[in-house]
Structure 1
Amino acid sequence: MSNDRYEFPGGIASPIDRSATKLLYVSTAKYGGDWHSLLHTHTCAELFYVVGGVGQFKVAGRMLPVAADDLVIVNPNVEHTEVSLNSSPLEYIVLGVEGLEFGPDGAADAPYEVIHFRGGGEEMLFYLRAMLREIETKAAGYEVVCQDLLEVLLIRVLRHTDFSLTVAPAGRRASKECAAVRRYIDGHFKENISLDMLAELTHINKYYMVHAFSREYGVSPINYLISRRIQESRYLLSDTDHSLSQISHMLGFSSPSYFSQSFRKLEGMSPMEYRKRRAGEHGPREGGMASDSRLSTVDSRGK
């Protein structure tokens, strides 16, 4: 008879500080022909694991080619977006993690990292899909299980890179309420959204919510909503033949005149002036990779 016994040393250190680092959301996304993406930021770190397809991630001004079994890590407050190859649509799972930053040798200002798990992504997918099952079923203790799975997954990530983890400074982490409001606006900006609705969503006083959101992001929730609609309108003006009335209605503005007024305030020109200028700048678009002007927020919905 043989018997192998392995003992663990005392004082095992976790790679993350659970008092500060929290899993905020897990979501899935798959590129569709109607998906156009804009550069955006999040106050949490995001981990994108590409399940299938081919495309690019635009991060901090760089275009990074990605394919199945690639993991893209984006630090908080770093502009990014996803661009898919139409013939091979991107499909990925994304995690939003509060209170965490990645950087070489602990440098918290490193904006992103791409890790290739070519031929070795089965284990990563196992943990990610386990998280999704837990959140979908919401069995007793699913939050703890997901947090445990996050910790295991981060250890696996650290084994494939020389990046290290640091706790994000508290001042840079938005409150959960503000983050929830922003994610909701990003995902529903074409709908009729009111302050009362946002306050009900977060279960906090409407006036406190406005004050906290404005302090966190430097803009009120309603002005942020308008800016998201104007961002989307730039794509519609550049890449479609929709009339101003149609665009105004599609984006939830109360009238075409209010849309034009809001557009001029943010862009310094009328919508028609913008359309003419864009038409003069760009010739016929080529097929293949979606152009950068076809960008919009993909919420992690947490996107």
Structure 2
Amino acid sequence: MNTRYDLNMEVPPREAVRLLYISKSRFGGDWHSVPHTHACSEMFYCIGGRGQFNIEGQLHNVEPDDLIIVNPRVQHTELSYQASPLEYVVLGIEGVEFLFDQKNLGYTMLKCHDMREDMLYMIRLLLREMDNKEDGCEMICQDILEVLLVRLVRRASVSLRLTKAPSKNKECEAAKRYIDENFRESVSLDQLASVTHINKYYLAHAFQKEYNISPINYLLRRRITESKALLASTDHSLTQISELVGFSSPSYFSQSFRRLEGMSPMEYRRTIQKQQDTRNAR
């Protein structure tokens, strides 16, 4: 008896989707990273521990076998609990954007308990290949990535869209990087122009075009995002938080927070604490 299967499906060209990096992290204590974005998509798979992900200002509880997918230029950061340090693997993927059932969201979280054995197997293979760096390791890693993506697409809630390589304005990237690294300090448009060596009015226009937000508003949003992480994960006072994230005064911090979030910092803290209490009571 002879059985033959013909494959007539369309597949994206191999060079269209590329694995840029893979990393494994484990954190202890009440650690939190700095909110940031990437030009590529990222997939976080939680191996162990518990914590939270702050994605575009929204906090999400994370536990083992959760898979967090974040599209390019979506701001996010990770929070780890002291009692159960968060351990996860990150894949950086170029050339693809994930589409989800939820409208207008650049991220999603999937429960992958049923895929744990396969996920861990593929992750271990990837890490082993990257550690050993033997001939052909790039090809093997690319193959594993494609298998993983196909497994995810089989879930009805996820689909893929090929994307062109993001445009890269070096001056805008430098300005954005400077803001990300120095948002706790006083940052002006004149300083950004000095860092990038271009006219400040041209910089403001180019930055708006590149990131759909002005440099100063990005700085403000950056500070507010960091303040939300501190409000959710610490008992610092508003004065302490306003100083830590770079606001000139607690009143300006509260005013800016309310304008961007529609509530005061304390209202936000109470809302998050109530959500956490509800989850813990389940």
Q: Does 1:158 align with 2:150?
A: yes
- Contact 2:52 / 2:62 at 8 angstroms: preserved in 1? yes
Q: Does 1:233 align with 2:227?
A: yes
Question: Which amino acid letter does the alignment assign opposite residue 117 of structure 2?
Answer: G
Who is 2:3 aligned against?
A: none
Deviation per residue, 1:1-44 (Å, 9 max, x gap): xxxxxxxx9xx98655525x344544444344333579987553
What are the within-5 Å matches in structure 2 for residues 49-68 of structure 1?
A: 49-55=45-51, 66-68=63-65
Deviation of 1:76 after TM superposition, in Å, equals 4.4
Q: TM-score, normalised by structure 1?
A: 0.57
- Contact 1:16 / 1:151 at 8 angstroms: preserved in 2? no
Counterpart CA distance in 1 for 2:109 and 2:269 is 36
Larger % of helix: which? 2
Deviation of 1:92 after TM superposition, in Å, equals 0.9
- Contact 1:195 / 1:222 at 8 angstroms: preserved in 2? no
Counterpart CA distance in 1 for 2:105 and 2:231 is 36
Question: Which amino acid letter does the alignment assign opposite residue 49 of structure 1?
Answer: Y
What are the within-5 Å matches in structure 2 for residues 263-282 of structure 1?
A: 264-265=255-256, 267-268=258-259, 274-275=264-265, 277=267
Deviation per residue, 1:162-190 (Å, 9 max, x gap): 1586443449x453756686577556644
What are the within-5 Å matches in structure 2 for residues 1-303 of structure 1?
A: 15-19=12-16, 21-36=17-32, 44-55=40-51, 66-68=63-65, 70-76=66-72, 84=80, 86-102=82-98, 112=108, 114=110, 115-116=112-113, 117-130=115-128, 133=131, 146=138, 149-159=141-151, 162-163=154-155, 166-170=160-164, 173=166, 175=168, 177=170, 182=176, 185-186=179-180, 189-190=183-184, 195=192, 199=196, 210-236=204-230, 239-242=234-237, 244=239, 246-253=240-247, 256-257=248-249, 260-261=251-252, 264-265=255-256, 267-268=258-259, 274-275=264-265, 277=267
Deviation of 1:236 after TM superposition, in Å, equals 4.3
Deviation of 1:205 after TM superposition, in Å, equals 5.6
Who is 1:293 aligned against?
A: none
Deviation per residue, 1:195-236 (Å, 9 max, x gap): 26864xxxx967666544321322233431232113323454
Higher relative contact order structure (alpha carbons within 8 Å, sequence separation ≥ 6): 1
Gapped runs of 5+ residues in structure 2?
1-5
Deviation of 1:158 after TM superposition, in Å, equals 1.8
Counterpart CA distance in 1 for 2:77 and 2:154 is 24
Gapped runs of 5+ residues in structure 1?
1-8, 291-303
- Contact 1:55 / 1:84 at 8 angstroms: preserved in 2? yes
Distance 1:248 1:170, change over 3 A: same
Q: TM-score, normalised by structure 2?
A: 0.60
Counterpart CA distance in 2 for 1:24 and 1:205 is 31
Question: Which amino acid letter does the alignment assign opposite residue 119 of structure 1?
Answer: E
- Contact 2:46 / 2:89 at 8 angstroms: preserved in 1? yes
Counterpart CA distance in 2 for 1:279 and 1:78 is 23
Counterpart CA distance in 1 for 2:59 and 2:244 is 31
Counterpart CA distance in 1 for 2:236 and 2:77 is 25
Distance 1:251 1:125, change over 3 A: same
SS in 1 for 2:264: helix
